[in-house]
Structure 1
Amino acid sequence: MSSIDRAPLELDGEPRFAWRGVMLDVARRFRPMPDLLRFVDLLAAHGLNVLQLHLTDDQGWRFEVRRYPRLTEAGGRRSESQLGHGPSATGDGVPHEGWYTQRELRELVQYAAARGIRIVPEIDVPGHACAVLAAYPEYGVGEVEAVRARVPEPWTRFGISDEVLNVEEETVRFVCDVFDEVCDVFDSEVVGIGGDEAQKRRWHEDPRTQDLLAERGLADEAELQAWFLGRIASHLAERGRRVVGWDEMLEGRRPAPDAVVASWRGSVGAGLAARLGHDVVLCPDLWTYLDYRQSDDPEEPIPVGTVLSLRDAASFDPVPDDAPAALRDRVVGVQANVWTEHLDSRERLDYAVFPRLGAFAEVAWNGGPLDWAEFGSRLPGYLAWLEAQGVDFRPLGGPRPDQQRPGVPGVPRRRADRIAQLARLTADLADPA
């Protein structure tokens, strides 16, 4: 049983979704193990049952790989972090480091299982690769010395790096070796392989990569990424695992046959995945990205993304009545994602996640948007419960002075602009042919 009593939420009867998850990014900001245990307790108290751990990214590698120790020795530490967001952001001058031993993660898996939580590990490939290349530059695109010069350490900036793994057979074997150790530690049937935001420029401009693309009979870099992810998925299938990846894995039209698609860029990827016969976890950023700013208030700390208020979280309608039948049949769950570029402490994590997670948890359990007036009438009891658990949540009226970050820049985004951007990003997924 959880050491925290169940939150006072409407979680009655059978849950609508089998996958009621939260993704926590511990790559950008390492969280010590006591914080993870506490987070597991809080998820269990909200009736959630999946914690996806984003263990690797450009900014850090947090999983001990005994065969490749430099992944944590070199990839687990950066000299500083970006302070704020956007072109005026500076560096904070503070080294950031940390990683989990396999023993610690096995204990986390057991702790979570006792509380009804499944830990889904994620190793992000082939993009978001700076931490890998800081440790093993031979797996990058181009000459080893050139990669070493480009990537002397995990990335100290935030955003999307153009570094990507190369597609040599040696690199595929390296990645499979890593996943073998992941499978030894985590017992989840589903393993995350990332696949998101892999930039194709270096592949496109590299003669060796273009030769390999042609040798393999692939049409373009999108098919090359699908080939790479397919190789990893096939290896994991031999270990009795299936993969979950972000909706970019649909690009190239060659996802693993039983892959679970996490649809984060609106509904287009979810629709295509369903038509292709894939299970879908819905996590559209406009409704489920809990690092997004919570209001237009200029005092919101480091405002990024579109406004995602508590009321917005409560209005999330995962599978509307007019959704295609194929989608209704293939949606296995929903997930809130917590990216941590700007969540550099337990208190900042609490501020971003709560109380919005309470609304999300009810949606995940009951399957549809909440009656705002009814939910609002119960909010005081829920907030009192959060306070009793020592959760440093965002007050309904806005951030307290100690929760603000004056002078630290952010990049807020208008909802209409983001919707237009999502349409451009997913245009190649709109046609099922």
Structure 2
Amino acid sequence: MNGFAGSRYGAGAPTRPPGAARAAGLRLDGEPRFAWRGVMLDVARRFRPIAELERFVELLAAHGLNVLQLHLTDDQGWRFEVRAYPRLTEIGGRRSQSQLGHGPRSTLDGIPHEGSYTQHELRGLVRFAAERGIRVVPEIDVPGHAQAILAAYPEFGVGGADAVRARVAEPWTRYGISDEVLNVEESTLEFVGTVFDELCEVFDSEFIGIGGDEARKRLWREDPRTQEFMAERGLASEDELQSWFLQQIADRLRGRGRRVVGWDEMLEGRDPAPDAVVASWRGPVGAELGARLGHDVVLCPDLWTYFDYRQSDAPEEPIPVGTVLSLEDVATFDPVPSDAPEWYADRIAGVQANVWTEHLDTRERLDYAVFPRLGAFAEVAWNGGPLDWAEFSERLPGYLGWLDEQRVDYRPMAGPRPDQQRPGVPGVPRDRADRLAELARLTANL
């Protein structure tokens, strides 16, 4: 057993999906291979009402999955009510418009987008999910992806409130990676700590997501006050500064009996928390390093588990994003190969599919991106992989029929229907070899 054996995601967690809701056509028998069988849903880029989240939870439960990670904050929106800082939702929960399409030819749609969850609503969601065997793991993303925070409270940015206010007028209307990052002043750490304190009052999860991904360091590097702070604490690089920042959060959460979950960038610099769970999304490097350091690891490599990626290279496929990730590609996911060393296999706590929603602006588009790929992923999560494609294909019609019964607007095997296409909306398709080379560059400092 891995390090999750004594946690609520190990022996004490439900191992069978509720019989009445079980997805037809899927093989989910016996004991599950992985303790953490999760889906991350991004509600920061695209807010989804509670009723839609409850529907999503029921579908996850029917697939034998047991974790819903809610990505509650990002540059484009803040969705969690923080009573000590009401402007986070009042200002950070609304943007004037959204990017339409992907890449340099993208435009703006001119349509305001807003929404947030009250603490009361989220407590209800936690109860609803628990009754169906799903644990809700909340995520507040720091120190990067911070533009929605800074639109509401510019004093927590780099360079002073006036400078931040001049740079950040509202949550980001574009997608990508913003340069904005939190400063490291004591007041900012207290702000972040208060946010996580309130989060812990709402969510009973043992695990709390703290982000740590894609924090660009340019503003830290160019800011005299930040450099002075680093020198005072003996931090040799901005990567070490991020590790120090995340360590403060991990220590505070540990004091509340919680463990942090962070993306694999958290391992850049110094290891911020010995008990942290590493969500490894940038290929095998972060997973291997995390396992060597003794961390529990959740595997979510983008080439197999990013369900916003396009499902074919056909021209009618809506908004080409990322590499091609077809249903058959998902079925080839092999989280722990038979020749994996024992020290690695013992630290793999589970797998997770990530659903980023920049371009999934309706429930129907979310359905299209997630299903039927989630069926193959669920079998990998339950049984290990890769799947026997021929055998899975024989059962696939029964599964698709079940999705029809649930009124899930999934992608047909023959390709998107005309109403599922998005002609004229630009994208940037990626080649798998090019993405692999980029991942090697991105993880070179681990």
Shorter-chain TM band = over 0.9
Quote the offset at 1:4 in angstroms: 6.1
Q: Report the residue type matching 2:397 in the other structure.
A: P
Alpha carbons 1:4, 1:42 under 8 Å: kept: no
TM-score (norm 1): 0.98
The amino acid across from 1:228 in the alignment is F
Aligned mates of 2:264, 2:326 — CA distance in 1 = 25
Q: 1:3·1:41 contact (CA, 8 Å) conserved in 2? A: no
CA RMSD of aligned residues (A): 0.9
1:197-256: per-residue Cα shift (whole Å, max 9, x none)?
Answer: 000000000000000010010010000000000000000001110000000000012220
Are 2:133 and 1:116 aligned?
A: yes
The CA distance in 1 between the partners of 2:136 and 2:366, in whole Å, is 19
Aligned to 2:224, which of 207, 218, 225?
207
Question: In structure 2, what is the Cα distance between the partners aligned to 1:88 and 1:55?
Answer: 28
SS, match of residue 346 in structure 2? helix
For 2:429 and 2:164, locate their aligned partners in 1 and report how far apart those are by CA, in whole Å: 33
Q: Residues 273-325 of structure 1: CA distance to partner in whole angstroms, max 9, x if unpaired?
A: 00000000000000000000000111111110000000000110000112222
8 A contact 2:278–2:295 mirrored in 1: yes
How far apart, CA to CA, are the structure 2 residues paired with 1:233 and 1:255? 7
Q: What is the alpha-carbon distance in structure 1 between the residues aligned to residue 272 and residue 390 of structure 2?
A: 42
Aligned-residue offset at 1:3: 9.8
- Match 2:439 to one of 408, 418, 422: 422
Aligned residues between the structures: 429
Aligned-partner SS, 1:427: coil
2:322 aligned residue: 305
- How far apart, in 2, do the equivalents of 1:49 and 1:351 lie? 21
Pick one of 183, 190, 198 that aligns with 2:207: 190
Instruction: Look up the match of 1:41.
Output: 58
Task: Give the aligned partner of residue 6 of structure 1.
Answer: 22
SS in 2 for 1:428: coil
Structure 1 counterpart of 2:23, which letter?
A: A
Residue 368 of structure 2: aligned partner: 351
Unmatched runs of 5 consecutive residues or more in structure 1: none
Q: Which residue of 2 aligns with 1:76?
A: 93
Say whether 1:370 aligns with 2:360: no
CA distance in 2, matches of 1:322, 1:253: 30
One-letter identity of the residue aligned with 1:295: S
Aligned-partner Cα distance in 1 for 2:347–2:299: 10
**2-structure distance, mates of 1:202, 1:5:** 50
On the 8 A contact 2:78/2:148 being kept in 1, the answer is yes
Letter in 2 for 1:105: L
Residue from 295, 305, 312 that aligns with 2:312 = 295
Query: Residue in 1 aligned with 2:5?
Result: none
Show the 5 A alignment for 1:44-193. Answer: 44-193=61-210
Q: State how 1:212-291 maps to structure 2 within 5 Å.
A: 212-291=229-308
| Alpha-carbon separation, structure 2, partners of 1:324 and 1:152 | 50
What percentage of residue pairs aligned between the two structures are identical? 79
> In 2, Cα distance between the equivalents of 1:410 and 1:183?
38
Q: Which segments of 5 or more consecutive residues in structure 2 lack a partner in the other structure?
A: 1-16
> Which 4+ runs in 1 deviate beyond 3 A?
1-4
Q: Distance between the aligned counterparts of 1:280 and 1:86, measured in 2? A: 32
Distance 2:344 2:228 in 1: 39
Alpha-carbon distance in 2 for matches of 1:127, 1:143:
17
Aligned match of 2:11: none
